[in-house]
Amino acid sequence: MSHSLYTTGEPIADTKSPAGPIADRWTSRKFEAKLVNPANKRRKKVIIVGTGLAGASAGATLGEQGYHVIQFCFQDSPRRAHSIAAQGGINAAKNYRNDGDSVHRLFYDTVKGGDYRSRESNVYRLAEISTQIIDQCVAQGVPFAREYGGLLDNRSFGGTQVSRTFYARGQTGQQLLLGAYQALLRQVDAGNVELHARHEMLDLIMSDGAARGVVVRDLITGEITSYTADAVVLASGGYSNVYFLSTNAMGSNVTASWRAHKHGAYFANPCFTQIHPTCIPVSGDHQSKLTLMSESLRNDGRVWVPKKAGDHRRPGDIPEEERDYYLERIYPAFGNLVPRDIASRAAKNVCDERRGVGPGGLGVYLDFTDAIERLGLDAVRAKYGNLFTMYERITGEDPYQMPMRIYPAVHYTMGGLWVDYDLQASIPGLFVIGEANFSDHGANRLGASALMQGLADGYFVLPTTIGDYLARGPFANVPDTAVVEAENRVTSAIDTLLSIKGDRTVDSFHRELGSIMWEYCGMERTEEGLRKALDLIVALRAEFWKRVNVPGSGDDLNQSLERAGRVADFLELAELMVVDALHRSESAGGHFRAEHQTGDGEARRDDENFSYVAAWEWKGVGEPPILHKETLEFEYVHPTTRSYR
């Protein structure tokens, strides 16, 4: 491709990861980290943006350690963070099933599942900490499922051949978040955490090249306020809503990360987005959100379509010999539990062959008939009952009587702000945790690993590494000029949005952007399509700033204004995502370039040319970004052809 779309800058490296045996690196880093005297912790301020699993666990832990934490969320309560929507479970290498699991196997599965595009040091640490997370959450009272004898139960998720996923029916995210929320509120009551709900971060305050605060807007009153601290932590989640239709909560956005990116925080691997194979299909143009059905359903549900194209009979009328259980056929070793990217592309392929089911042929069956016959109705209801109820309420169909219809949808983003081993961004003093960073999943996240990463970062990693940074203080006071400049940027942007008075709604722009991204930068990408998307996005962004209509004012509750700022950021992010997808002339995990596939339709990586993290530096609207490459080294899991057959 033409390099006019970007320029190449100096390589970037993770200088914080210790050398030596991989199993000793986290222990070494913890010992080497400088400590903050307990009496000094009271004098250290840390801002945290976000109260999902990563943010709530970080706030609770830093508060418990004695730091002064100032924390923000745009929801009316931390309990409404999008982490609450996670259903199926959380991974941990406990080996309770004695089926061959270990820290090294979880490490191996995660590196392989990410198609060899993640850092070994970070992934090993995640696997190592996973065992501590379960103990922490059990101690908090999280009601994990248990076997008859009282031991914690496990089930399997995609991309593994062991049972390592701990779960609480289909409500695992909710129960884990309630545990972290209670720990956070305990620190609020103790006076260690200052919590501000219904506040949105709109800019980063910089001083002497470091992150020193945030500018926030009170979403009820419209008041603009600034807060300063010794360090800033972003725990603001992923950016899947750039596609408009996704499994994310409608308020999920990229604004906190994107505003930091504009101040110099590198954005890594933005094109690595995950398509989840187990979602309720789109039912019409009226929808503004898609609903996830947990990957755990693939433990007992069998995925199939008719063997013959154009077969529109009811599923019960199609005999067994005329059904294609295509995942079991193509991938006999893993069957219905192949990783998400592979299951999603397989579903797309059979639908492209006109063998899809339901309206528009955009669906495949997830059938529990065999499980009900094998286990009994009561056992299936005990394991999945709330998920089945949710499906029936949305579709009007009883999944106990007929198969679910599912289809892939945008779910998780593996890309995010670049961080080093300490979870510190390229801006000193800015730490990024959970889905907001890029660090652990490579080009594809294995199921049940998002909750694991969020809690590992918040409970165990950040509290150690941020202490090392804070111990290097004290830091000079933030000058008033830096605060005023940041506030002026925010008020100017708000005034501009309100002054346009165009003839198109914010949602109409968001929906059009989502259509472009899904069509050309979704499950399958081509150079021709990506170049077309780039032209369409640039034109759409120009039209947005001429024709968007944001009614009301900035002096009170104005949800149109909230959405307008977020969509403006999505329009800029989308361009970077497409540039990243264009430059990466290979297929890897969730990034599938049609020009780069094997003869049997599998992804074909190019390790010689693309075994690196693509960390992008912002240079301005319409200006080519700068690409910084972080070379990935593999000492313990050597890249091979990724096969689940």
Q: What digits encode the pLDDT tens for the residues 167-192?
A: 998 899 999 999 999 999 999 999 99
CB proximity list for 21: less than 8 A, separation 6 or greater: none
For residues 204 and 430, is the Cβ–Cβ distance under 8 A?
yes
pLDDT at position 2 = 43
Residues 6+ apart with CB under 8 A from 176: 53, 83, 86, 90, 137, 142, 168, 451, 455
Using CB atoms within 10 Å of the CB of residue 197, give its burial: 0 to 12 exposed, 13 to 18 middle, 19+ buried: middle
H/E segment holding residue 260:
helix 255-261
Question: What residues does CATH 3.90.700.10 cover in the chain?
Answer: 276-410
Residue 489 CB partners (closer than 8 Å, separation 6+): 203, 215
The residue ranges of the chain whose pLDDT is under 50 are: 1-2
| Coil/strand/helix, residue 430 | strand
> Active-site residue numbers?
340
- Burial level of 393, CB count in 10 A (0-12/13-18/19+)? exposed
Report the distance separating Cα 591 and Cα 593, nearest Å. 6
Amino acid at 152: L
CATH class of 276-410: alpha beta
Portions of the chain given CATH number 3.50.50.60 = 46-91+170-272+414-606
Cα(137)–Cα(126) distance, integer angstroms? 16
Q: Which fold has domain 46-91+170-272+414-606?
A: FAD/NAD(P)-binding domain (3.50.50)
Parallel, antiparallel, or unpaired for β 302-306 and 90-91?
unpaired
Residue among 118, 51, 55, 15 at smallest CA distance from 438 = 118
Six-digit token string for 13 = 């490296």
Single-letter amino acid code for the residue at 72: F
Residue with tokens 């406990």: 94
φ, ψ of residue 241 to 5 degrees: the values are -70, 0
Distances (CA, A) of 382 to 157, 174, 247, 372, 518: 18, 18, 25, 12, 36
Contacts of 485 (CB under 8 A, 6+ apart): none
495 Cα distance to chain centroid: 31
d(Cα 157, Cα 304) in Å, to the nearest integer?
18
